[in-house]
C-alpha cells in the first residue's frame, strides 16, 4: 500500500470525498480559562496551540482551504487589554509559525478589514503572506476583523461604484458577481463549518458563502479541540448526502431522496 493510501486508511477517510474548504468558529477560550481558574488570555494562548494541531491535520489529509475565525468585527468591543493580547498572540503565531507553514507548502491569506489591524500585525501578515504566496498545498485563511455583513457592505459598495462609472450594468449583477466582490473571491465556498463550545450560531461568519455548507457543532471548548475530533467530523461529513436543493433519483427503484 502506498504511503498516501495508508495515510487516509489510518484515519478512515475517503480521499475522493474530501471537503475542499473547512471553516471554523473557534469558540470557548474564555470558558476554558475560567474552568481552570486562569485568565482569559491564557485561554487564547491555549487556543493558539489547538490552531497549530488543526492546521497540521488539515495539511496531512489534504484539505485545500482552512479558514479560522480569529477576530471578528464585534471583537473590537472587548476590553482593551484582551484585544491587545489577542493582537499580540496573532503576531506571535504568524512570526513563529511562518517557517513551518512555508516548509509544509501552506499559503497564508486573510479576509477582513486589514486596515483596522495594528501596524505591527499588518506588517507581520504582509511579510508572511508574500513569503508564502506561491505555496499550493493548502491555504490557511485567517478571518481578522472580519464580519459577514461588513463584507457584504464592502462588496455592494464596490459593485455600486462600478455601476456608477458605467463599468457594469445593474441587470448584470448576478450571484457570481457578488461572490467575485467578497473577500473570499479566490476561494471555494466552505463545505464544512465547525463551531466549538456548544453555541449554535453563525455569529456573522461567512454568511453568503456558507449557504450550502454542512454544519458541525461540538460542546468541546476550542483549546480542547483535537485532531481526533476533527477527523470524526470529516468522516461524518463524508457520510452526509449533499443535495444542494436538488432531488437525487435512485437508479434502482426510481424513488426520490
**What are the residues binding ligand FPP (CB under 6 A)?**
26-31, 44, 47-48, 51, 68, 70, 75, 86, 89-90, 93, 142, 197, 222
CB nearer ligand FPP, residue 11 or residue 141 = 141
CB nearer ligand FPP, residue 39 or residue 179 = 39
CA pair distance 10, 124, nearest whole angstrom: 37
User: Among this protein's residues, is 14 annotated catalytic?
Assistant: no
Q: What letter does residue 109 receive in the DSSP assignment?
A: E
Q: Which of 39, 75, 135, 204 is catalytic?
A: 75
CA pair distance 132, 107, nearest whole angstrom: 5
Q: What's the chain's Rg over C-alpha atoms?
A: 20
Q: Which run of H or of E encompasses 21? A: strand 21-25
Apex 72 CA angle, 29 and 203, nearest 5: 80
Q: Nearest approach, Cβ of 234 to ligand FPP (angstroms)?
A: 20
CB nearer ligand FPP, residue 19 or residue 43 = 43
CA pair distance 256, 230, nearest whole angstrom: 32
Q: Nearest approach, Cβ of 257 to ligand FPP (angstroms)?
A: 37
User: Among this protein's residues, is 204 annotated catalytic?
Assistant: no
Q: Which of 27, 29, 141, 191 is catalytic?
A: 27
Q: Nearest approach, Cβ of 15 to ligand FPP (angstroms)?
A: 27
CB nearer ligand FPP, residue 70 or residue 194 = 70
Retrieve residue 34's grid coordinates: 475560567
Q: Give catalytic residue positions.
A: 27, 75
Amino acid at each position: 500500500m502506498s504511503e498516501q493510501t495508508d495515510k487516509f486508511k489510518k484515519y478512515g477517510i475517503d480521499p475522493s470525498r474530501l471537503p475542499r474548504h473547512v471553516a471554523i468558529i473557534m469558540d470557548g477560550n474564555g470558558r476554558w480559562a475560567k474552568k481552570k481558574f486562569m485568565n482569559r488570555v491564557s485561554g487564547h494562548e491555549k487556543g493558539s496551540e489547538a490552531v497549530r494541531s488543526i492546521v497540521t491535520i488539515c495539511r496531512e489529509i489534504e484539505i485545500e482551504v482552512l479558514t479560522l475565525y480569529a477576530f471578528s468585527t464585534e471583537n473590537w468591543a472587548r476590553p482593551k487589554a484582551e484585544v491587545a493580547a489577542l493582537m499580540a498572540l496573532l503576531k506571535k503565531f504568524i512570526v513563529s509559525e511562518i517557517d513551518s507553514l512555508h516548509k509544509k507548502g501552506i499559503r497564508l491569506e486573510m479576509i477582513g478589514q486589514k486596515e483596522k489591524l495594528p501596524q505591527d500585525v499588518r506588517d507581520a501578515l504582509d511579510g508572511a503572506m508574500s513569503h508564502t504566496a506561491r505555496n499550493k498545498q493548502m491555504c490557511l485563511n485567517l478571518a481578522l476583523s472580519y464580519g459577514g455583513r461588513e463584507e457584504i457592505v464592502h462588496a455592494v459598495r464596490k459593485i455600486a461604484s462600478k455601476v456608477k462609472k458605467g463599468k457594469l450594468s445593474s441587470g448584470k449583477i448576478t450571484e457570481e458577481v457578488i461572490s467575485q466582490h467578497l473577500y473570499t473571491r479566490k476561494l471555494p465556498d466552505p463545505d464544512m463549518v465547525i463551531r466549538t463550545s456548544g453555541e449554535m450560531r453563525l455569529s456573522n461568519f461567512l454568511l453568503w458563502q456558507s449557504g450550502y455548507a454542512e454544519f458541525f457543532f461540538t460542546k468541546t471548548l476550542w483549546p480542547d479541540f483535537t485532531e481526533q475530533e476533527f477527523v470524526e467530523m470529516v468522516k461524518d461529513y463524508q457520510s452526509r448526502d449533499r443535495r444542494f436543493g436538488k432531488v437525487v433519483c435512485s437508479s434502482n427503484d426510481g424513488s426520490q431522496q
